[in-house]
Amino acid sequence: MPEAKKRTELPNIQELKEGFPKRAIKKVGIREVKVPLKVLKKDGTINICSANISMYTDLSKNEKGTNMSRYRILIEEYLIGRDLVLHDFIRELLLATKTRLKQNHAYVKIWFPYYLVQNAPVSKITSHIEMEVAMEGKLVDDQLDLYLTVKAPYTSCCPCSKEISKHGAHNQRSTAEITVKLDESKGIMWIEDLYAIIIRCASAPIINGLKREDEKWQTELMYEQPQFVEDVVRHLGDELDKEMGGRILDYVVVVNQEESIHTHNAVAILNAGKELG
């Protein structure tokens, strides 16, 4: 039988002060933490999903190791049983991590799927669209920075194909990934807000539930709004520039179009010329 002992009766190797290289570590912690997550949406409903969390602190040159178990304990303590405004959760978690692990810096990043309900353009039947979302926080010394990433699908029609072809034009399923640095003193940038920007710049949204009349509408909408990958990334930059100095402080955009007549993807990247990118 295992012998039960109190924690105070056991040695703590991490607290050794000698016998290891005296070098500071920028980040140490845990990743691939899979937990259930409930995220408060813009309309007040709840997005129920599974999250993948990474969490780190710094470590001074005079400490042998960090206490790995505390990262997971903190995540569970601040996460379980709560309907979360992620901005508030990350802020609370970072402050607690820095304080309880007694370090100068703390970092957390949460990836999760996010679902919105869409209406078909003609029949108005509803279906879900999934996108990848990340919320990231950095607490360096006493400076807190928050970042939001939304990676969402859309569809694009090739302008060159439309121009040179006697019949039709090729189109492709595409993704736009936007990362913004947030300034929440000017208001919340919701996931839905970034998704709306992506769709405004696309040939057409991807809608999973379509009847025949909807498919006709979508096909013609794409044909009427052809976009190169360069067009989409520039339009996204123009839209995000309108938010600069307001709800966002910086951005980077990565657009991928999965070419339907090639095995490679077309890619374009654009940033605000600041920290991100």
Report domain extents, the chain.
21-271
pTM, to two decimals: 0.90
**109 has a pLDDT exceeding 80:** yes
> At a CB cut-off of 8 Å and minimum separation 6, what does 86 contact?
39, 40, 110, 135
Instruction: Report whether pLDDT(113) > 80.
Output: yes
* Residue 13 clears pLDDT 80, i.e. is over it: no
Q: What is the pLDDT of residue 81?
A: 66
b/e map 46-72, b = 16+ CB within 10 Å: ebebebbbbbbbbbeeebbebeeebbe
pLDDT > 80? residue 87: no
pLDDT tier, 181 (very low <50, low <70, confident <90, very high otherwise): very high
Residue 84's pLDDT is what?
Answer: 67
Query: Residue 112: beta bridge partners?
Result: 133
Reported confidence tier of residue 271, pLDDT bands at 50, 70, 90: very high
The pLDDT, as a whole number, for residue 230 is: 94
What values do phi and psi take at 236, rounded to 5?
Answer: -65, -40
> What proportion of the chain, given as a percentage, has pLDDT over 70?
96
Contacts with 185 (C-beta within 8 Å, 6 or more apart), sequence order: none
> Residue range 217-228: average pLDDT?
89
d(CA 229, CA 201): 11
Q: Which of these, 142, 202, 161, 160, lies nearest to 178 by C-alpha position? A: 202
Mean pLDDT computed over 64-79? 88
pLDDT bin (cut points 50, 70, 90) of residue 83 is low
Residues 29-44 have a mean pLDDT of 92
Whether the per-residue pLDDT at 15 is higher than 80: the answer is no
Is 80 exceeded by the pLDDT of residue 91? yes
Work out the mean pLDDT of the chain and round it to a whole number. 89
Burial 223-246 (b: 16+ CB within 10 A, else e): eeebbbbebbbbbbbebbeebeee
Lowest mean pLDDT across 25-29, 178-182, 272-276:
272-276
Q: Is the confidence at residue 80, as pLDDT, over 90?
A: no
Q: pLDDT tens digit string along 133-162?
A: 999 999 998 899 999 999 999 998 887 887
The architecture (CATH level 2) of 21-271 comes to Roll (3.10)
In degrees rounded to 5, what are phi and psi of residue 169?
-165, 150
Low-confidence winner among 25-29, 83-87, 152-156, 208-212 (lowest mean pLDDT):
83-87
pLDDT at 203 over 80: yes
CB atoms within 10 A of CB 188: 13
